[in-house]
Structure 1
Amino acid sequence: MDASFYARIGGQPAVTAAVDALYRVVLADDRLVDYFDGSDLDHLKSHMVALLSQVLGGPAEYSGRDLRGAHFGLGIVPEHYDLVGAYLIGVLAGLGVDDEVLTAVRGVLAASAADVVE
């Protein structure tokens, strides 16, 4: 692989578009919206853009809390974690991201579940 996944999907503009689309579907889902009550959505989106960029091999600019610290106490159940992951994969696929990248993102989601789910 010559270019990072980040470069292959279109860099910052593509990651930002994916995060915006992800939050649109997540916040429209009655099963998930309560997790975001009282949250600063712009702040969350900026952290998600930085984290997803880093995961995809882009700039390592994520400076937020670790996943466990950021999600501790939210009571996230496995079904909801999986649902958000499925939305993310769907958004990325809808933006034309190739299967190799989607497989890598699925792997990160699987590896991160224990840090997010309670």
Structure 2
Amino acid sequence: MKTTFAALLAPCVLVSSLFAGLSAAAQAQTMNDAVYQGLGAKSGISKIVADFLPIILADQRINAAFKDTDMERLGAMLAEQFCELSGGPCKYSGKEMKEAHQDMKVTNAQFFALAEDLQIAMEKNNIPSSVQNKLVAKLAPMQRPIVTK
């Protein structure tokens, strides 16, 4: 049986294509979760949220809105949401933003105060400004369904 050069080359091309595809997929995943990694992955997000909640409760501009809030549940939902939005492996299991905030009469000033408090928590955790800005940019579209007043 005579083996041609093309027959020998075909498996090499197939393996090379497979590795190139895997490399591209890995590179795409790295780009998709760059914010997640920049936040410190799950443990980093947990630390940010742990620092964020007391900042909210101390903020006179918005703390009254959280007086009846289950802060432990809020922390869990925020961690899921930040994880998912940043490209991490989590899935947010909470309510849609419009439904969750419909009766809260949230103002733009309160929305911006909360965003400012988040940035303070990220600063406290030494998150680079570029990563902070990317997360805030992913959260910004939530303003419309959250702000009801």
State whether TM-score is above 0.5: yes
- The aligned amino acid for 1:7 is Q
Q: Does residue 58 of structure 1 match 2:88?
A: yes
Residue identity matched to 1:117: V
Structure 1, unaligned stretches of length 5 or more? none
Deviations 1:23-66 (A, max 9, x none): 11110122211111222111111011100111111123211111
Q: CA deviation at 1:112?
A: 1.3
Amino acid across the alignment from 2:90: A
1:109 and 1:7 map into 2 onto residues whose CA distance is 17
Q: Name the stretch that deviates more: 100-109 or 58-67.
A: 100-109
In structure 2, what is the Cα distance between the partners aligned to 1:53 and 1:61?
A: 8
Amino acid paired to 1:9: L
The SS at the match of 2:72 is helix
User: Which one has the bigger helix percentage?
Assistant: 2
TM-score for the superposition, normalised by structure 2 = 0.73
Instruction: Give structure 2 stretches of 5+ with no counterpart.
Output: 1-26
| TM-score, with length taken from structure 1 | 0.90
Determine what percentage of the aligned residue pairs are the same residue. Answer: 19
| Residue type at the aligned position of 2:85 | V
SS at match of 2:141: helix
Distance 1:6 1:109 in 2: 14
| Aligned residue pairs, count | 118
Report the alpha carbon displacement of residue 90 of structure 1 after superposing the two structures with TM: 2.1
Q: Separation in 1 of the partners of 2:119 and 2:65?
A: 20
Query: Which residue of 2 is the match for residue 7 of structure 1?
Result: 37
Greater CA drift, 75-84 or 95-104: 95-104
In structure 2, the partner of 1:91 is 121
